[in-house]
Amino acid sequence: MLALNSSNPQVAAPQKLAQRLGVTFSQPDLLEMALRHRSAGNVNNERLEFLGDAILNLVIADRLYLLRTSASEGELSRWRASLVREESLAVIARDLSLGSYLVLGSGELKSGGFRRDSILADALEATIGAVYLDQGFSVAKTMLERLFEPMLANLPDAASLKDPKTRLQELLQSDKRDLPAYEVTNTWGQAHKQVFEVTCRLADSAEIAIGRGSSRRKAEQGAAERMFAILTHKPGASSDQAAPHE
């Protein structure tokens, strides 16, 4: 058996998490690996995360298909995207107190990585992968249906889940206006922690909107969200404020 579990007394025993998941592991090493962030060394949860992501998408797609029998492909896709996105996974991870079981490198530990959405979401996906490998698809599916039941029971209106760039494009097209242009107007930070600033401009207006994010795509979405708010006269939608799409 690999010695994977942490010697750090502040890290909770993985067996407690297994109990919360309702799973008895025959190979406890799998769960221990699922809780090891890449900052903790070469033996980490990245491969399990890859597997868990695929299983999660399949199970959520299956549940949505059965629950929303009259929904279009586009609506189902938007609901699935909202359920499997980082923020939603982090909510479930926090409900499980997943952060208290994570094994992190010293840098991530000092910076509070056990609270970060991205790390929590990745660890949850890795845990799904571990359950699948240890117990099979049926057990993993049952666990996921239980964990996601509250979110599945309270799905938002599908139209509200369209991404900001799509909503802005549809708004402009409905008024027979040209599509917006997006330009990267600034970048800063180290290569692995860059921040992008994107300006959204309209062809027939001097109005601009600025968005910032950890990727060009996120910055563009932030700028589009700001421009949409300006055009629909939402409160606080000043063009000189950058939507923080981190």
Three-class DSSP category at 195 = strand
Contact 184, 216 (CB under 8 A): yes
Give catalytic residue positions.
53, 125
Burial class, 131, CB count within 10 angstroms (exposed 0-12 / middle 13-18 / buried 19+): buried
How far apart are the C-alpha atoms of 209 and 221, rounded to whole Å?
11
Determine how many CB atoms are found less than 10 A away from the CB of residue 81.
14
Task: Tell me how crowded residue 167 is: count the other CB atoms within 10 A of its CB.
Answer: 18
Supply 19's token pair. 């109990």
**Would you put residue 236 in left (φ > 0), alpha (ψ -120 to 50) or beta?**
left
| Sign of the Cα pseudo-torsion (142, 143, 145, 149, in order) | positive
Contact between 59 and 141 (Cβ < 8 Å): yes
Q: Where are the alpha helices (DSSP H) in the chain?
A: 14-21, 28-34, 46-67, 73-84, 86-95, 106-110, 117-135, 137-153, 164-174, 216-231
